[in-house]
Chain A
Amino acid sequence: MDKIKEFVKDFGIARLIIAAFLLLLFAVAPIFGVRLDTSISDVLTRFGMNAILVLSMIPMIQSGCGLNFGLPVGLIAGILGGVISLEFRLVGLAGILTAMLIGIVFATIFGFLYGELLNKIKGDEMIIATYVGFSAVFFMNMMWILLPFRNPSSVQGYKGEGLRTTISVEEYWFRAISNFGQIKVNKYLTIPTGMLLAFTIMALLVYFFFKTKLGTAITAVGSNPDYARAAGISINKMRTISVVLSTVIGAIGINMYQQSFGFIQLYNAPLAFAFPSVAAVLLGGASVNKASIMNVIVGTILFQGMLTMTPSVINNAINIDVSEVIRIVISNGMIVYALTRKVKK
């Protein structure tokens, strides 16, 4: 009995309610004419699309930089990778991998600058990360128009004045990874092994990273900066490294999303990814200064599950589309809940 109470207290009442709600949705789905296998297929695909983005939260949380509302910085790096790979007209796996590689290069540079900034403003990381994310997106809005891109499928207008809002990658690397080794169980259920494999690789990399000497030091910095300082560790260096890592993983993540989605989304699109990713990792049990890979997996499943099941089930049930509103209320409510939780001393 005590163990159950301990579990409930640690896991949080809010999360348990949402998990129960999700199970309920799955249970009643067939009653409202929603196929279980389609649902599972959808959830798996969405998991594969989003999990790496949620994974990118871990390094910064662990090092004490808080929730990475500045994810758009990494996303922009990834998108740059995408459009540049299009300029080279690369297709298939080569195309998507080039996109990711270029994205990683940009992400390292952006992440470094972003990390140095965060070091100067310790204590106010989250609000400033949010606004840096906004500013970066709105700055890039101008760049998307001004930068000299040439590929006709990317640019808009006859004279090629700037990139389109959404660029289709159907002829390039659409589903390059998703299709990799996918298992078609039946007409409705496909397991996107490629994406799941990619996530597993990324997750393993993160897992092993935090087992290294460097990763251990970063965890200590987030757990107790005074302790780390007394051990001779440079807090700023550890934080910057964690920010670069988060940004790089974010860049990889957005490319994963795009190859499944089929479109590169520019302009204001990156803004739509930050809050859901934060909400997902919190939903999975992370706190403002501690996050694990299990949190990422559980959180992404719960969150994407909600996003998939609510429209299909509830809308069918009561014939009203409440999905958008529920998404807003749950994701933001989750974040407020995490921000107001007392930090254990």
Chain B
Amino acid sequence: MAVKETLLRVEHVGKEFHGNRVLKDINFNLNEGEILGLVGENGAGKSTLMNILFGMNVIAETGGYEGEIYFNGVKLNFKNPVEALNAGIGMVHQEFSLIPGFTVAENILLNMEKTKPSVISNIFGKKLETIDMPEIKKSADGAINLLGVKMDTDTLVSEMPVGHKQFIEIAREINRDKVKMIIMDEPTAVLTETEAEILLESLRKLAALGVAIIFISHRLREIINVCDKIVVLRDGIVVVDTPTKGTSIRQIATWMVGRDVEDKAEEVSEKTVYDESAEVIFEAKNLWVDMPGETIKNVNLKVRKGEILGIGGLAGQGKLGFPNGVMGLFPAGGKVFFEGKKLPLNNTLNALKSGIAFVSEDRRGVGLLLEEPIHWNIAFNAMQVQGKFIKKVLGVSFRDEKSMTAVSEKYIDELKIKCTSERQLVRQLSGGNQQKICLAKAFAMEPKLLFVSEPTRGIDVGAKTLVLNALRKYNEEYGTTIVIISSELEELRSISDRVAIVCEGKIFGILPPTADRAEFGLLMSGEYELDDKGEKKWIK
């Protein structure tokens, strides 16, 4: 085997966003022709690290990064992705970047088309050179063949199945003349088993040709199968940097979710003892939800009255699709029962009227009216759905500013929302306070069942504690059943009575919060499923 050159050297790289530290002292190397597997939970810093490597604008816009990165011996300082591309780094993102109306070949060679000069282009410039379609097709076919897939490059991308689109994306990256390293972000997420096999095989081929690959995946089995070395990120630091040989899946899972041995005991506030035989308030049978990026394929779940049920799982596995589908924000099907009665799906108003409330993970997009004042935001749902905060004058329902102000003051006080008054525009509040408004909006409806999605995402520690305590209080004092969906395992473990893990659109198991962390990691990676009796069903 030839001596491998060190292609990529990452030294003491760190990044913080507006005071929030996301990466700290990252160090690792990558050689030519090596495949590095990058593993980590949500929020571990994988995406940020990749954005830095690839020169995404968002990094430069938020103050750049610390540390140094050397690629091919040259210190990196990319200002945009095009510079990264020119230096030989390609990235296959999670979202497809394809033009449906173009053929496969045209997409593969997008902005890298082969052209022929002509008389006019010699006078007026390169942009007027003629496109050489036969050469383009040849080049595209070459890339596709290298991947080991069978595809007619003259077909329109719009007519291609999802798995093929993934290969087209990859083909585009490997077809660049100068490509030396490719970053792949969850490339097997949408592939069938056979397709995933083909993909892994093609990665091996690429590596043999000297291309270095950074491979991000939650499927630990794939990582073990194809990677030469593994880097595990946790809470923004590298916890493990090891050759794959000699590691096991269980080990990796533990690294992924574990904490240091000298961890302080978590602050788990006193909970009332949970009654296992309590009635079922909500049940989902064969639920599917079509939410782009968070699809649910088949969920069967019972929620017991008065409990706090946590739902966790890695990003993109479907946990966010669950509440969005139940609340009718995305198309859903299957059967759902609330308080014993069948609940029609795809009907937001009905769900709200029945006594279910939802705090969306998309705070700014769905949860708030940024251009309106606080008291509008808090009172709105209760006003529209339940007729609260209304005064009737001559039979017409007017919004009652007085009671809206009163209820807002109540929640501003309870949740310690920092604002100038209840009339302040929500747009001006900090993220944490905006989140509290979303909660207040849900609480104002006095729901029987509350879905909260990513309640503490992007807010500071103080607000986090407050939010979680508020949820606990509502659960204990008012008996509100709470289903909390979160990417932060620790958060779920500290507040929930039970924790369900979603993987690949299904519930892979429900564990008590005190269960061993490694078990959670394995469930999240889809290594085994737990059935109703708690029996493990290992995948392969």
Contact = CB atoms under 8 A, between A and B. Distances in A.
Contact of A227 (B369, B396, B397): B369
Contact of A226 (B327, B349, B365, B372): B365
Interface stretch (B276-284, B312-320, B380-388): B380-388
A230 B360 CA distance: 9
A208 B369 CA distance: 21
A216 B353 contact: no
A220 B396 contact: no
B369 A213 contact: no
A238 to B, nearest CB: 11
Contacts of B397: 212-214
Interface string A215-250: 011011001101101111110000000000000000
Interface in B343-368: 348-353, 358, 360, 362, 365-368
B367 A211 contact: no
Main secondary structure of the interface of A (DSSP, over half): helix
Interface in B371-411: 371-372, 376, 380-381, 383-385, 387, 390, 396-399
B384 A213 contact: yes
B348 A232 contact: yes
Contacts of B370: 223-224
Interface residues of A, number: 21
B329 A224 contact: no
B367 A227 contact: yes
Nearest to A233: B384
Interface string B433-459: 000000000000000000000000000
Contact of A231 (B365, B381, B398): B381
B327 A216 contact: no
Interface residues on B, range: 20 to 34
A290 interface: yes
A216 B382 CA distance: 12
A223 B376 CA distance: 12
A223 B349 CA distance: 19
Nearest to B377: A227
B358 A290 contact: no
Given A212-B397, A213-B397, A213-B399, A232 B385 contact: yes
A232 B384 contact: yes
Interface in A288-327: 290
Contact of B383 (A216, A223, A290): A216
Given A212-B399, A220-B380, A232 B349 contact: yes
Contact of B352 (A208, A219, A231, A344): A231
B366 A230 contact: yes
B327 A230 contact: yes
Contacts of B348: 229-232
Contacts of B368: 224, 227
A29 to B, nearest CB: 40
A224 B367 CA distance: 9
A212 B366 contact: no
A124 to B, nearest CB: 19
Contact of B385 (A214, A224, A231): A231
Nearest to B376: A216
B170 to A, nearest CB: 33
Given A212-B396, A227-B368, A290-B371, A232 B352 contact: yes
Interface of A: 208, 211-214, 216-217, 219-220, 223-224, 226-227, 229-234, 290, 344
6 contacts: A213-B383, A213-B384, A220-B380, A229-B348, A232-B381, A233-B349
The 3 closest A-B pairs by CB, nearest first: A232-B349, A213-B397, A232-B348
Given A224-B368, A226-B362, A231-B380, 7 more contacts: A213-B383, A213-B399, A220-B369, A230-B360, A231-B352, A231-B381, A232-B381
